[in-house]
Amino acid sequence: MKSFDLGKDKPFGLILRLAIPAMLGQLVNVLYGIVDRIFIGQIDNIGSLALAGVGVCAPVTTLLTSFSYLIGVGGAPLLSMSLGANDKDKAKKILNNSFLAMLVLSILVTIITLILLNPLLSLFGATETNFIYAKEYLFIYLIGAPFAIMALGLNQFINCQGFTSVGMKSMIIGAVLNIILDPIFIFVFKMNVSGAAIATVISQFVSFLYTLGFLLSKKTNVKIGFGSYSFKLILKITLMGLSPFIILATDSIVNICLNGAIKRYSDDPDLYLVVATITTSFFQLVTMPLLGISGGTQAALSYNYGASNLERVKECEKKIVMLALIFTTSFFILSFFISKPFCYLFTDDINTINIVRKTTTIFMIGIIPLSFQYCFVDGLTALALPRAAALGSLFRKGLIILSTFIYPIFMGVEGCFYAESISDIIASIFSSVLFLIIFPKVLKRKETSLFHYGDKTVS
């Protein structure tokens, strides 16, 4: 099993080979939740309420997933830079410390979430009628949460070494298994919401085993070992992963605000919680593969930056943005044709479907500009600039949260959905300006250091 050359392959071909498996992997990852919701929505008598309840769980599962990015996306660029600088010992040390940090963190956040389960569900928008379904699903999901966090986090260290097809397979194995097991546990064993959660836990455990097995094998360039632990290095990895962590973790806060605004400004909260669940599920079909493009291609930037191949860094970034724009533009056009069939996967209620079609269109207004937001923020992360990347992420999420409180005052419940799209446009402009200011300065600084110190310079 061979990886490809991050330093020599043609930029556009390299970006495609990195991005496509990462996109598919992210799409498969989001399918875990969507498939569960699709089958849950079809349960006799309780389908709509159960769907609303599981929709309330989405912020919690997103928050848990974000911790995999804190370490995975934090450590992967550093590992790529070390390989680019031909320092394999440092790369091994980074992987060892990342594995330890991820293991401890996944167990810790799962325990804390279990302890705070009831207040968290209330905070995230559960109503009296759907609380029981939300708790039933989330309690079981949390038992297997460490496997989900570890599988997704370790996957980053497979992708950054050029084995993107392996990373994609690890996600596909779990998703296909989940699709098979969901109807068996939900309908055949009549376990309803609990069955969906059990199917997800089993599937994520299998993905974890596959990922761990590869990183322990001789097939990989850098495999997991033990020892050489350093708190200082773990802190550096964590700071590097801060921006992608913020992007996902604050999604939970955005969902809290969205659910809270819906409960306040809607005459039928359960209906609009279902609407929000379906709308955000559709939106994730675009944003998660987009994250695959921007995050999955970081290795190309980090490796070549570590190798001091600055012209190649510029060329790769251009190709990443171009690919993202092609993807988002295509999906924006496609959304007008597929949003209605997508709704029917969850419900056959015409009123719900009509509302979802409108809210989906509102959400998609800002999707094309979002290409710049994702690519530039992740580009800054790839070049070891976590503070600048975090600033771009925080600006966007802060704007969405603020808008979610303000817009409904003037626009009613529809304002909850406009908050996302308008904020995406404004934040994308901000991050683009930030990147265009910082990016040339970073490359110039690297070039200057090379001029002074020659080939001995290592970032």
pLDDT at 427: 96
Tokens at 107, concatenated:
């167990």
Closest alpha carbon to 9 in 265, 309, 215 = 309
Is the per-residue pLDDT at 459 higher than 60? no
Where does the pLDDT of residue 320 fall: very low under 50, low under 70, confident under 90, or very high at 90 and above?
very high
Q: How high is the mean pLDDT of the chain?
A: 88
Residues of the chain above pLDDT 70, percent: 97
pLDDT at 268: 85
How many other C-beta atoms are found inside a 10 Å radius of the C-beta of residue 253? Answer: 18
- Summarize the confidence of residues 87-115 as an average pLDDT: 95
Is the per-residue pLDDT at 428 higher than 90? yes
Three-state SS at 345: coil
Whether residue 41 contacts residue 349, with contact meaning beta carbons closer than 8 Å, is answered with no
pLDDT at 2: 52
Is the per-residue pLDDT at 33 higher than 80? no
- Summarize the confidence of residues 107-120 as an average pLDDT: 94
Whether residue 72 contacts residue 155, with contact meaning beta carbons closer than 8 Å, is answered with yes
262: which DSSP letter? Answer: H
Whether residue 362 contacts residue 411, with contact meaning beta carbons closer than 8 Å, is answered with no
Burial class of residue 432, CB neighbours in 10 A (0-12, 13-18, 19+): middle
For every residue of 87-101, DSSP letters joined together read -HHHHHHHHHHHHHH
Helix 370-382 × helix 47-84 angle, to 10°: 40
pLDDT at 294: 92
- Summarize the confidence of residues 306-323 as an average pLDDT: 92
Is the per-residue pLDDT at 445 higher than 70? yes
Whether residue 269 contacts residue 416, with contact meaning beta carbons closer than 8 Å, is answered with no
pLDDT at 1: 46
Residue pLDDT, tens place only, 335-377: 999 999 999 988 888 999 999 999 999 999 999 999 999 999 9
Model pTM above 0.85? no
Q: Poorest-confidence range of 79-93, 131-145, 252-266, 397-411?
A: 252-266
Residue ranges with strand state E in 230-368: none
Burial class of residue 456, CB neighbours in 10 A (0-12, 13-18, 19+): exposed
pLDDT at 3: 57
- Summarize the confidence of residues 296-316 as an average pLDDT: 89
- Summarize the confidence of residues 410-426 as an average pLDDT: 93
Which backbone phi and psi does 3 adopt, to 5 degrees? -90, -175
- Summarize the confidence of residues 415-431 as an average pLDDT: 95
CA–CA separation, 100 vs 231, rounded Å?
Answer: 11
How many residues are recorded in the chain?
459
CA–CA separation, 43 vs 229, rounded Å?
Answer: 49
CA–CA separation, 421 vs 433, rounded Å?
Answer: 19
* Highest mean pLDDT pick, 23-32, 166-175, 303-312, 355-364: 355-364
Sign of CA pseudo-dihedral 71, 74, 79, 82: negative
